[in-house]
Structure 1
Amino acid sequence: MKNLIFILFLCFSISNIHGQTKNDIVIGKIETIESKVLNEQRRILVYVPENATHPNYKQKSYPVVYLLDGDAHFYSVVGLIKQLSSVNGNTLCPKMIVVGISNTNRTRDLTPTKGERANSGGGENFMSFIKNELIPHIDSNYPTLNFRTFIGHSLGGLTVMNTLLNQPDLFNAYVAIDPSMWYNNKNLLSKIKTSTFNETYKNKTLFLGIANTMHKDMDTIRIKKDTTASTRHIRAILELNMFLKDSQEKHLSFKSKYYEDDDHGSVPLIAEYDALRYIFKFHRFKLHRDDYLNPEVNLVAKVEAYYKKLSQGFGIEIKPDEEYVNNLGYQLLNNNAFKKSEQIFKLNIKNYPESFNVYDSIGDLYMAIGDKEKAIENFKKSVFINEKSYSKAKLLELEKD
């Protein structure tokens, strides 16, 4: 309940990002991009994880979530990611940059072909804006990791599916929430059903969320025989789901979930939660009491194995995070697990030999165990790299004795 209140507070207490004072809680900023492709200004909402920059550590890079209907979903998605990546020590998903894309002409931008709606069919231009203007802008101005997730609901879900089909390499993970697959006489659905999802999709992930938009007297079995216009939305999604589940040759990593107790309007939040859990199922890492206290447990090997798993999941080499390893070393130090602490601090030295902080930290360990010679040696290394290092004062104190 406490965590739910925290998320709701984030979602409803920060609706105005302008005119902030030091007492305000700020979770992002508004930017305007002048789009030559669309010949208009486009408003985006951007969230970057707190402490993305720290004087002791190298600039971190973060995966990026691109979110359609940004004004509607930005705050809730940021809240979810904060909860799953940070609160209570959670590592269920990574800390991520979130880019919410505001609408100007929703029907135009989120429909890939001309259909029954006026001003429809501008989806190709819109995706050109995202590919050629928005993504390069975000990559140039923010600390991005080359791993992108694309989330869309309703017509936004249709856009997600169209992008997966026609530009699969633009994103790594796709989340289609109750997508409007009925659009234009199921034109996109028909194309998908002739696709094989071959080797190109080997490292791609799709999560499909399905809301309950049926009448009370129907279920997911009987509705397939219905022909009325009122059920065309869910029938088309169930048809998509069946095809993707039954396709034997697909390389795409796929999961779907039907939300019996959620309708078209309520389904995004819970589907986004489940999607993040599925996409980043490789990300969770949890140490137990035995890992800290049992001398037989090789903690360094465990940390390195985890980051190897992260590297495989992201498709990019991910070194053990300097800040995380540093904090782990101090936890062990504070629990008098001196040998394990030394091993962990040495792991940081191996991965970040250019960092003044790694030598300062292991110097603290040697001070704690009374090894003055090694403490001085490492504090000197720290000061050599950065003359403003905390080690300078410690070194002066030690050399006075």
Structure 2
Amino acid sequence: MAIPGIKDVILTLLFSVLVSSGLAGSVSAQSADQPPVEVAATDVGLDEATGGDSVSEADAQALTEPVPEAEEKQAYGFLQSHSVFSKVLDEERRYKVYLPASYYAKPDYNYPVLYLVDGDYNFLSIAAMVENLAKGNNPLIPEMIVVGISAKGIASYRNNMQPSLPLGKGGDADDFLSFIQDELKAEIRQHYRSSGFDILEGQSIGGLFVVNSLLTNSDSFSAYIAISPMMWWESYRMEGKVEDYLKKIKAPTKKLYLSLANEPRMGVYGLVEQLDRHRPPAVDWDFKHFSQENHDSVTLPALRHALKDLFAGWYISYKDLAAYENFDAVRNHYQGYLQRFNLQQAIPAYTYKALMHQYPKEEKAEKAASLYLQTTQHLPLSLIDLRNHLAALAIKEKEYDKAGELLQASFKENANDFSVQQAISKWHRAQRQWDEAEEAASNALALAKQQLQRDWMIAILEDELAEIRERK
């Protein structure tokens, strides 16, 4: 893809000004819950790339220190198991945690949290689905943390899920909700980078718990997902309470997702009818009937539907992106989106690639400068992705000095980002600087392993390193 005028326009208007201005600096300090990662070593040839700009003593030291091997991976695994003592329940409760792929690589990020009340049964399959929805160039949802709450046997689980009844009958759902709301959430927020946007999910009797939680304490979560909820419980007893409960729910509006498989007499249609009749302004509800699924198989399609709808707008298709008048509109969309979910993440990298592809040849350099300025000022966590893409475009046009300036800025901001080291390796490789390319590729691979990147990414980095060594 040609970028005519990139030397005159971007270098003059942008890189020599912004890179030296400090506008692209790091936005926050390293989180305490990140694994220990040392500054990556790589000889990026910064003096040549930046026209003789000096390298600080700290940078010079970083260029010569090797990256240590990852230590105690299990202690920092992305699938974890913990326990917390609940004063409300007067017992120890176990829970599992899934952390997204970026968690240790991006210490400035925070994440929505999905709480599964039947965490033993569906934790692994749901965590895998969440990762699949959030990965790659075209993520449909932001990355998120998943917390699976372990049960203490069937009898205990059923008791935790059932609302209380007069004369001491029913279960202790109110206490269990207090445990999640007051104790487990505090534990998660203390040890993990939660955004504060919390989602509660349950199926069958767990779905009954989810519905009851919304009706009795609508402030407990931001969104509720009830999959084939057992609304027939106690001869459809909940149905008689719904109308009174709906009147008590106040703003802000909560999102409720209801679903049903190919099963009769679950009582879900009774709840749907009441929601449709009363239309509570503080409940934005959605119902979907999965007629081709059974009570067990409905979990993943129902949850996938709910998450895609809840986070709609995170991914903007190429066709829809063309409808935006300019990047101002795209930036405003994502700024509003991040604010709505209290989210700190980079926007999908695909967005920049699609935008640059759509711009006419004669406007590409000017548009690139505008993208850089606006991203620096309004979407700073997306800067590394944008720089990597612009550097790749500059490399394609053999504008190696311009690519070097971009990578220099990213290196100074976060030398421990494996994608920066990967981009630096490609930059050296394009100039046939094989030793430097190999060193940067080795650093990228070491960092990716330290930061628990997934096997598919490790395989890509290993393949790139092997190809470099073959060419030397």
Who is 2:287 aligned against? 256
Who is 2:303 aligned against? 272
CA gap 1:256/1:369 in 2 versus in 1, 3 angstroms: same
Say yes or no: does 1:174 pair with 2:224: yes
**Alpha-carbon distance between aligned partners in 2 of 1:131 and 1:290, rounded to the nearest angstrom:** 39
Who is 2:57 aligned against? none
Say yes or no: does 1:113 pair with 2:144: no
Who is 1:96 aligned against? 144
Give SS of 1:193's match: helix
Moved more, 242-251 or 70-79: 242-251
Give SS of 2:115's match: strand
**Alpha-carbon distance between aligned partners in 2 of 1:326 and 1:144, rounded to the nearest angstrom:** 25
Gapped regions of structure 1 (runs ≥ 5): 1-20, 215-230, 395-401
**Alpha-carbon distance between aligned partners in 2 of 1:362 and 1:259, rounded to the nearest angstrom:** 41
Shift of residue 127, structure 1, vs aligned partner: 1.1
Verify the 8 A CA contact 2:260 2:288 in the aligned structure 1.
yes
Say yes or no: does 1:69 pair with 2:112: no
Verify the 8 A CA contact 1:356 1:381 in the aligned structure 2.
no
**Alpha-carbon distance between aligned partners in 2 of 1:132 and 1:385, rounded to the nearest angstrom:** 37
Verify the 8 A CA contact 1:329 1:345 in the aligned structure 2.
no
**Alpha-carbon distance between aligned partners in 2 of 1:112 and 1:313, rounded to the nearest angstrom:** 32
Shift of residue 352, structure 1, vs aligned partner: 6.6
- Correspondent of 1:46 among 94, 97, 111: 97
CA gap 1:330/1:152 in 2 versus in 1, 3 angstroms: closer
Give SS of 2:158's match: helix
**Alpha-carbon distance between aligned partners in 2 of 1:181 and 1:114, rounded to the nearest angstrom:** 15
Who is 1:203 aligned against? 253
Who is 2:372 aligned against? 345
Shift of residue 381, structure 1, vs aligned partner: 7.3
Shift of residue 60, structure 1, vs aligned partner: 0.4
**Alpha-carbon distance between aligned partners in 1 of 2:299 and 2:174, rounded to the nearest angstrom:** 24
Verify the 8 A CA contact 1:156 1:179 in the aligned structure 2.
yes
1:25-47 superposed Cα distances (whole Å, 9 cap, x missing partner): x7511111122221222111111
Who is 1:80 aligned against? 129
Say yes or no: does 1:241 pair with 2:291: no
**Alpha-carbon distance between aligned partners in 1 of 2:256 and 2:383, rounded to the nearest angstrom:** 42
Name the count of aligned residue pairs: 340
Who is 1:287 aligned against? 318
Who is 1:154 aligned against? 204
Verify the 8 A CA contact 1:173 1:204 in the aligned structure 2.
yes
- Correspondent of 2:352 among 328, 343, 356: 328
Moved more, 152-161 or 344-353: 344-353
**Alpha-carbon distance between aligned partners in 2 of 1:120 and 1:80, rounded to the nearest angstrom:** 34
Say yes or no: does 1:190 pair with 2:221: no
| TM-score (structure 1 length as normaliser) | 0.70
**Alpha-carbon distance between aligned partners in 2 of 1:376 and 1:85, rounded to the nearest angstrom:** 30
Instruction: Give the share of equivalent positions with the same residue, in percent.
Output: 27
Who is 2:188 aligned against? 138
Shift of residue 100, structure 1, vs aligned partner: 0.6
Shift of residue 340, structure 1, vs aligned partner: 2.8
Gapped regions of structure 2 (runs ≥ 5): 1-71, 428-472
Who is 1:10 aligned against? none
**Alpha-carbon distance between aligned partners in 2 of 1:262 and 1:383, rounded to the nearest angstrom:** 49
Verify the 8 A CA contact 1:359 1:382 in the aligned structure 2.
no
**Alpha-carbon distance between aligned partners in 2 of 1:135 and 1:38, rounded to the nearest angstrom:** 15
Shift of residue 211, structure 1, vs aligned partner: 2.5
Shift of residue 346, structure 1, vs aligned partner: 2.1
Shift of residue 123, structure 1, vs aligned partner: 1.2
Give SS of 1:213's match: coil
Give SS of 1:194's match: helix
Verify the 8 A CA contact 2:188 2:194 in the aligned structure 1.
yes
**Alpha-carbon distance between aligned partners in 1 of 2:318 and 2:256, rounded to the nearest angstrom:** 30
| TM-score (structure 2 length as normaliser) | 0.60
Shift of residue 195, structure 1, vs aligned partner: 3.4
Who is 2:86 aligned against? 35
Counterpart residue identity of residue 38, structure 1? L
Verify the 8 A CA contact 1:82 1:95 in the aligned structure 2.
yes
**Alpha-carbon distance between aligned partners in 2 of 1:359 and 1:91, rounded to the nearest angstrom:** 16
1:155-177 superposed Cα distances (whole Å, 9 cap, x missing partner): 11111111101111111111111
